């Protein structure tokens, strides 16, 4: 009985649906050669056979005319297939081409000396075509078909009497069977390795920090289940590294096209996870009509080899999983995750080598998954830090001016009690309050809209408020000019504000100017900042070197220029975006 068959809570809209895991499985390569290359080789083989038989027709002592017509027909067929492949619209399915080839070869063998035919070697092309395009199973089917057809047709059409060569009749089918099996096996292994590499590449893309650990893990086990076409894929992880309460995430064949994936927090998974941490296991029931056999291979991941696993009761695990075969690998012991992965099936779809592959896959994926968790944690921490930053900004930029407003009102009260005129001071305090309110609205607007678009607007608001306050406190008129569509990111906006503050401070400290001009604009992917002040006679002999501005601009990859002309001094900063 399957312990996971009961109703469990469900996780909706998992990352696997968002990332289309079935489509991932369909993209895995099922062939190891290019169809156009096969078409070209078929054409060259057909033309070569025709030319060689024309040069030396000694083996075509009977039905020569029909044989030539058959070869010409095969050349025309090969040329047609090749041209269609070049255009990308062949009407014959790729899986059928090698069977059609075998039909041609059987006819050629029947027309030319049967088992002694020189066209015997053509069967290897069909086997290569089938094996490298369909894998081991397809290649093996082609081997058996070729051996049987060649043996029966060749024997039936072989010359009689002394011309019949018994050694060829016996050797060629064996030769075809053994070499065909080796070709099919090697082609199947190559396709399997290519599919594994593609799976590793695709699974690594599933680790998206936006989805979090839980949905990332479900996306991974969905892809594994689809890759092996298993009944289910089960991931059991500890609630915490020191906890005995486990969380399983199960994906079954029936739920592959559903939006829901089973997730449950339980203690019943203990028997499945209480295995030696270094053991990865492959189990398969090999029962037949006469005898029930079992195969259980234990791979020691720490030693990197298969070991004696008599201490593991594989049969009990299979009964618990209700599976005829399964693979389980441990999750590496780490600070954030520990547990086991299970792949189960009711048929023989696993091999012992799959244990090493799945273990390597999880060893490569788990660090990425842990990084997702760390990024998720960093995002949460960053949100808290951003909240603190906003709190400090509001305190420094809004609360403090209101404290100054309070002190100003107290001073007004004293002046009013003394009978002094307070109209001018009241107007100044009103303007200061308006600037503070405007700054507060800028913060609220930035919080409400967010993103880079608000950064430029916040900067402009802050600069205008800075100009108002500068004029109020230092009696220096500051004009701010900003072109439309001024949008820059948060960091550059903050640095730009510091550059403007330093420039105004330099004007106040090092000149006697009463007017200043600030110009901000974006041109050709660059930010241009110009801070200009009028000169008076006492300033003309002073050397003005804005070291702080130049250093800050250089750290941003920009440059600083100083221009002095009649009646004004201008500091220009150019920063690439």
According to the model, what pLDDT value does residue 75 have?
92
Bridge partner list, 523: 526
Question: pLDDT of the chain along its 577 residues, tens only?
Answer: 343 333 333 334 444 444 444 444 444 455 556 788 888 888 999 999 888 888 876 555 566 788 888 889 999 998 998 888 888 776 777 778 888 999 998 888 888 876 677 888 889 999 998 888 888 888 899 999 999 998 888 888 777 766 677 777 788 889 899 999 999 889 888 888 888 888 877 777 766 666 667 777 777 888 888 888 888 888 887 765 555 556 777 777 765 444 445 566 666 677 787 788 888 888 888 765 555 577 888 888 888 888 887 778 888 888 888 888 888 888 865 555 678 888 888 877 788 888 888 888 888 777 777 777 777 677 667 666 666 556 545 544 555 556 656 766 777 778 777 777 777 777 777 776 776 676 667 656 656 654 444 466 777 888 887 888 777 766 788 888 887 677 787 778 877 887 887 788 778 777 888 888 998 888 888 888 888 888 765 555 555 667 778 877 887 788 888 888 777 888 889 988 7
Closest by alpha carbon to 522, among 556, 478, 489, 483?
483
Q: Which long-range contacts (CB under 8 A, 24 or more apart) does 502-506 make?
A: 502/546, 502/548, 502/549, 502/552, 503/531, 503/546, 503/549, 503/571, 504/466, 504/470, 504/476, 504/478, 504/531, 506/544, 506/546, 506/549
Instruction: Encode 387-407: b = buried (16+ Cβ within 10 Å), e = exposed.
Output: eeeeeeebeebeeebeeeeee
Q: How far is the C-alpha of 334 from the C-alpha of 367, rounded, in Å?
A: 9
According to the model, what pLDDT value does residue 192 have?
84
Q: How far is the C-alpha of 380 from the C-alpha of 180, rounded, in Å?
A: 60
Sheet holding 559-565, edge to edge: 477-482, 515-523, 526-534, 568-576, 559-565
Q: How far is the C-alpha of 347 from the C-alpha of 523, rounded, in Å?
A: 66
Q: How far is the C-alpha of 32 from the C-alpha of 192, rounded, in Å?
A: 10
Q: How far is the C-alpha of 93 from the C-alpha of 349, rounded, in Å?
A: 26
Q: Check: CB of residue 117 under 8 Å from CB of residue 153.
A: no
According to the model, what pLDDT value does residue 402 have?
65
Rg (CA), the chain: 40
According to the model, what pLDDT value does residue 262 have?
58
Q: How many residues does the chain have?
A: 577
In sequence order, the 6+-apart residues with CB closer than 8 A to the CB of 412 are 422, 425, 426, 429
Domains of the chain in sequence order: 10-22+206-376 (3.30.450.40), 31-201 (no CATH), 421-576 (3.30.565.10)
Residue 215 corresponds to which tokens in the numbers above?
Answer: 């949905």
Residue with tokens 């100044």: 428
According to the model, what pLDDT value does residue 182 have?
94
Q: How far is the C-alpha of 424 from the C-alpha of 258, rounded, in Å?
A: 73
Q: How far is the C-alpha of 529 from the C-alpha of 483, rounded, in Å?
A: 11
Backbone angles phi, psi at 341, to 5 degrees: -115, 135
Bridge partner list, 576: 526
According to the model, what pLDDT value does residue 177 have?
92
Q: Say how many Å lie between the first and final Cα of the chain, rounded.
A: 63
Strands 477-482 and 515-523: parallel
Q: Check: CB of residue 512 under 8 Å from CB of residue 539.
A: yes
pTM above 0.85, yes or no: no
DSSP string, 169-221: HHHHHHHHHHHHHHHHHHHHHHHHHHHHHHHHHHHHTT--TTTHHHHHHHHHH
């Amino acid at each position: 009985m399957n312990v996971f068959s009961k109703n469990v809570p469900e996780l909706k809209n998992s990352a696997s649906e968002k990332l289309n895991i079935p489509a991932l499985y369909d993209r895995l390569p099922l062939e190891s050669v290019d169809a156009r290359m096969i078409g070209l080789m078929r054409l060259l083989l057909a033309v070569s056979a025709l030319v060689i038989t024309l040069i030396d027709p000694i083996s075509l002592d009977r039905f020569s005319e029909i044989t030539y017509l058959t070869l010409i027909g095969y050349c025309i067929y090969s040329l047609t297939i090749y041209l269609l492949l070049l255009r990308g619209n062949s009407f014959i399915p790729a899986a059928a081409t090698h069977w059609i080839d075998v039909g041609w070869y059987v006819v050629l063998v029947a027309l030319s000396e049967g088992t002694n035919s020189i066209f015997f070697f053509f069967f290897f092309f069909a086997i290569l075509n089938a094996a490298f395009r369909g894998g081991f199973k397809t290649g093996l089917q082609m081997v058996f078909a070729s051996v049987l057809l060649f043996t029966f047709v060749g024997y039936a059409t072989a010359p009689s009497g002394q011309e019949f060569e018994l050694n060829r009749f016996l050797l060629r089918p064996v030769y075809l069977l053994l070499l065909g099996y080796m070709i099919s096996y090697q082609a199947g292994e190559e396709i399997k390795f290519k599919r594994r590499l593609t799976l590793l590449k695709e699974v690594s893309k599933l680790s998206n920090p936006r989805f979090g650990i839980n949905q990332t893990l479900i996306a991974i086990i969905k892809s594994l289940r689809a890759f092996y076409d298993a009944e289910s894929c089960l991931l059991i992880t500890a609630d915490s590294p020191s906890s005995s309460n486990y969380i399983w995430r199960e994906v079954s064949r029936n739920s592959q096209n559903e939006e829901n994936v089973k997730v449950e927090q339980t203690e019943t998974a203990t028997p499945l996870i209480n295995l030696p941490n270094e053991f990865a296991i492959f189990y398969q029931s090999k029962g037949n009509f006469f005898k029930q056999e079992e195969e259980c291979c234990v791979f020691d991941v720490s030693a990197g080899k298969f070991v004696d696993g008599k201490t593991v009761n594989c049969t009990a695990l299979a009964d618990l999983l209700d599976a005829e075969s399964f693979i389980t690998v441990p999750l590496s012991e780490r600070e954030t995750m520990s547990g086991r992965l299970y792949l189960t099936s009711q048929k023989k779809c696993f091999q012992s080598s799959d244990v090493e592959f799945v273990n390597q896959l999880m060893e490569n994926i788990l660090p990425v998954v842990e990084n997702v968790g760390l990024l998720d944690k960093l995002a949460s921490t960053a949100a808290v830090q951003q909240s603190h930053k906003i709190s400090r900004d509001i305190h420094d930029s809004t609360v403090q001016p209101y404290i100054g407003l309070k002190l100003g009102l107290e001073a007004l009260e004293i002046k009013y009690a003394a009978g002094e005129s307070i109209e001018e001071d009241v107007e100044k305090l009103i303007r200061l309050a308006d600037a503070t309110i405007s700054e507060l609205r800028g913060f609220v607007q930035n919080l409400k809209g967010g993103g880079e678009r608000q950064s430029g607007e916040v900067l402009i608001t802050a600069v205008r408020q800075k100009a108002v306050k500068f004029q109020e406190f230092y009696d220096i008129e500051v004009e701010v000019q900003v072109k439309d569509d001024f949008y820059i990111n948060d960091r550059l906006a903050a640095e730009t504000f510091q550059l403007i503050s330093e420039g105004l401070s330099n004007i106040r400290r090092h000149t006697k100017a009463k007017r200043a001009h600030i110009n901000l604009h974006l041109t050709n992917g660059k930010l241009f900042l110009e801070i200009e002040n009028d000169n008076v006679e006492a300033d003309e002999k002073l050397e003005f070197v804005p070291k702080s501005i130049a250093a800050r601009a250089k750290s941003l990859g920009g440059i600083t220029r100083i221009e002095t002309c009649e009646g004004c001094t201008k500091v220009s900063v150019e920063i690439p975006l």
